[in-house]
A and B are shown apart, each in its own frame.
Chain A
Amino acid sequence: MSQQYMLHVNGVDHEVTDGWLGESLLDTLRDRLGLMGTKGACTQGECGSCSVLVDGELVCSCLVMAATATEQEITTIEGVAPAGAPSDVQQAFVDAGAVQCGFCTPGLIMAVHDLLERSPEPDGTEIREQLAGNVCRCTGYGRIVDAVQQVSVRRAGSGSSS
């Protein structure tokens, strides 16, 4: 059973024509809209690799039915920064050595942007608690915490948020 509906993703309307109604937002983003930056690793909401924002709320897109996300503002990794230029969080991940295989990275970038919006100067415990829904198998998390702290300090210094 398929039905046509619209998704508003990264400021652009996308018509979904060939999806089936129970399809997850993760699969719809990847397989129908070709937005491959959002990754699927567990498809049951345990690892955070598929994190996106729906109306500003960080969610696992594998747990959201795509057809319920119409009329909502969806932001994926492709829309987190202006095309081409990395955000301060993305740059800090690379500089701090927070990226190895990189499969968890897009989801973490979404989660870190969200965290720093809500709490611009988190301490180590808060960072770990707030990001605990995102699993990384390569890094052991230390360099990721470092990257988040670097961004937090830089933003506080420059008085800006990007």
Chain B
Amino acid sequence: MSVDERTDAPPRAGVLGDSITRPDGIAKTQGAFSFSSDESVDGCLFGATLRSPHPYARIVSIALGPAWQIDGVRAVITADDVPGQPTYGLIAHDQPVFASEYVRYVGEPIAAVAADGPETARRALAAIRVEFELLEPLLDPEAAIAGAHDPVHPDGNVIRHQRIEHGDLSVAGDIVVEGTYEIGMQDQAFLGLEAAIAFPDDGAALGNGGGIELHIATQWLHEDQKQIAACLGLPAEKVHVVLGGVGGAFGAREDISLQVHTCMLALRLGRPVRMAYDRGESFLGHVHRHPTTISMRHHATADGQLVKIEARFVFDGGAYASTSSAVLINGITMAQGPYRCPNGEIVGWAVRSNHLPCGAMRGFGAVQACFAYESQMDKLADACGLDPVEVRLRNAMVTGDTLLTGQRVLNVAPVEECIRQTAALPLPNTPVGGVPLPDGEVDVMQLPGGAGRTADAGDVVRGIGWGVSIKNLMYSEGFDDYSTARCKLADGVATIKFATAEVGQGFVMIATQIARTVLGVDDVVLDTIDTGVGSAGSTSASRQTWMSGGAVDAASRKVRDQLLAEIAREQGIDVNRLAIDGTDIIDTAGSFRLSVTEASMGRSFDEEVEYRHPETFDLDERGQGDCHTAFAFVAHRAVVDVDPELGLVKVVQIATAQDVGVALNPLSVIGQIEGGIAQGLGLAVMEEIIQVDGVIRNANFTDYLLPTFLDMPPVVAALIEQPDPLSPLGAKGVGEPPCISSTPSIVAAIRDALRSVGVEKDLDRVPVRPGDICL
């Protein structure tokens, strides 16, 4: 059902199922919402970071003296000044707070300064003299695998290797298709740049002083707290992390960037210190989507049933590990896509190089896998003489199917419904080349190339392409994945506290909707998002609606049960007969009725709950094991117009049907779908970080191309609502799937358009560039 057709209005405003609007929405439209880059305080100092200009070099010497000579410079710090653990990292602690002996990528921090003003800080950086001995960088991932380059890090050049073997590896198909696919390095390109302000603790906030309070735009407050505390040599409770306003995240705020540097400067000086990156520094300061090379060979019967998949994945992790080992596992365990396949042999590497470090970005390994397996499914359709939709329907996974890891898919798995409902959505009614202007002339703005006004309408051809995908939700491989929420009900007001990072996705709406629904109160207040409550885990892996939603739901239920127990006792009614009906407590077998607001007057209940998903397990040597928690599915159909001579593409429409479980806030779900598709479109035809000899060449928004209003077509969306019994609210996370199979659908549509004029192109690399089409 599309949102527009929804007729089953929720029973009451503000509860689950209602498209309530953002509590911070008006402030955001007025410029009154405070982002972390807006935070300042009188007397604060400004920090800045000196970064490596070389991809791989030995640091011979660092001369800080000239920086100290500049008036207004208050602190200059290097690796020698790190009070605690010298390195950090989300999984392996392999990344130095400051480089000491070696620099391993262009942009690696070497020193930081604090000064009275940002210009003074920049001048101080320019005055620091670093002598390097240049070393031969490791830039070829195959050299890392082959052992053809000396280790560029004490942990070695292979971050992780994993194999998956399942079924009978000797079988062969009647039909075999194969290809090698490349995915370029994508940037999350959130608009709100990295920024933080650190306040040294004077003893008032954190006890007896010596601690630090950091206001930071992050995805995971407690992980920041843990890593910062370790590097500062402080116990975690001495590091208080408060969520600063977050201007988008998409994975790029999961790792440490300026957190430790800001805290070190503030602690050293005993004064508040601000740090803020500009766009160029942001490209260097956070991790990116892994550039990946994937070879695949699909075996199938003559009628298109998959019998075996062979694949080899190589993820270039860049200089430090970040989450590369988990991205690798996501990629290789999603290699079969949302399709049944009894046999498979998948090998994968995540390797180190002297490129920019890579880690989390929306889709997390599944994006790369999907471009490869969906390109393969189209090759299979061709080889079998089948329609792209038909070959996907013949192989569509269902609940209970077994993956190549041996794990059974226990979630709702409406793959066929996703495909069929997408196919049923209307195709665009605009003619090839766009709707003519009122005077009958071609509207050049609707042609491929748009404002460039270069395409000739007569040359433009249209194509249609498909992409279908699977995404694991939540964390995997035995990680103790939980979220904490606290619910307080007093005098008719519910107060919810959590450390769930609100990055724009809208958990601040969902949390109040859950509390209203469970408790029957309308007045729900959200407490400050900080480390003053247990961890919520990361706002990533499409996990917060399920995990923090589960925690808010459980805490609210505990409070409700206590209220009902007290009322039952006072009224002499069996508690099992009491229930919440809208905003009232009712006796289901009698006439008693009392509003929750009245019932809670003069009372106070306060409960904190940790919600955990079922345990997951490591993969064994053959890649077998129940490593994932849950799965979500989606289908995309792209319509594109292409000028084959110029290699220009205009995406005309994306249709999608997504497996969402239950749409708790349908308008928010549509927002996630459209936003995710825009990022998928970016990867398909526009976005790539270019590195030459280890040096980034487009660290700005002039040269790193982001989809604009004119690049992004209308989306027609249908929501597949089959409540998942394994999810606490029946809902699945919806953030990642939209950007996974939208990319291959667009590339397939370009291939289809070209085929209509007799041009066969593999287009086995994204982003597809004009030259890939026309040369």
Contacts and interface: CB of A to CB of B under 8 A. Distances in A.
Most buried by B among A43, A94, A140, A143: A140
Interface residues of B, number: 61
Contacts of A100: 248, 504-506, 671, 675
Contacts of B451: 129, 132
A94 B715 contact: no
B426 interface: no
B143 to A, nearest CB: 35
B708 to A, nearest CB: 5
B610 to A, nearest CB: 28
B709 A132 contact: yes
B233 to A, nearest CB: 34
Nearest to B435: A125
Main secondary structure on chain A at its contact with chain B?
loop
A93 to B, nearest CB: 5
B710 interface: yes
Contact of B21 (A42, A43, A94, A129): A94
B43 interface: no
A103 interface: yes
Most buried by A among B33, B278, B443: B33
Contact of A125 (B29, B443, B706, B708): B443
A47 B35 CA distance: 17
Contact of B247 (A101, A124, A135, A141): A101
Interface string A33-72: 0001111111110110100000000000000000000000
Interface string A101-135: 11111100100000000000000110111011111
Given A93-B25, A100-B505, A138 B248 contact: yes
A99 interface: yes
B205 interface: no
Given A86-B26, A129-B445, A37 B32 contact: yes
B709 A93 contact: no
A131 B709 contact: yes
Contacts of B506: 100
A61 to B, nearest CB: 12
B658 interface: no
Contacts of B668: 97
A135 B670 contact: no
B710 to A, nearest CB: 5
A99 B20 CA distance: 12
B674 interface: yes
B247 A42 contact: no
A39 B24 CA distance: 17
A4 interface: no
Most buried by B among A42, A78, A133: A42
A86 B34 CA distance: 17
A140 B26 contact: no
A139 interface: yes
Interface stretch (B161-169, B184-192, B305-313, B745-753): B184-192
Contacts of B22: 94, 99
Interface in B20-53: 21-22, 24-26, 28-35, 37-38
A106 B674 contact: no
B446 interface: yes
A101 B26 CA distance: 12
**Interface range for A:** 35 or more
Contacts of B676: 140
Interface in B184-218: 188-193
A103 B710 contact: no
B639 interface: no
Given A41-B193, A44-B700, A102-B24, A93 B503 contact: no
A89 B25 CA distance: 12
B191 A104 contact: yes
B226 interface: no
Most buried by A among B19, B37, B188, B677: B37
Given A43-B279, A140-B677, A97 B667 contact: yes
Given A44-B701, A91-B26, A102 B33 contact: yes
A77 interface: yes
A145 B671 CA distance: 12
A58 to B, nearest CB: 15
Most buried by B among A38, A49, A99, A136: A99
Contacts of A101: 190-192, 246-249, 503-504
B31 A76 contact: yes
A162 B451 CA distance: 31
Contacts of B505: 100
Interface string B504-527: 111000000000000000000000
14 contacts: A43-B278, A46-B700, A47-B706, A49-B191, A86-B26, A89-B29, A100-B506, A100-B675, A101-B191, A101-B503, A124-B714, A127-B709, A141-B709, A142-B714
Given A94-B25, A105-B31, A137-B678, 6 more contacts: A36-B31, A47-B191, A89-B29, A101-B504, A133-B708, A139-B671
**The 4 residue pairs across chains A and B that have the minimum distance between CB atoms:** A37-B31, A101-B504, A102-B28, A140-B674
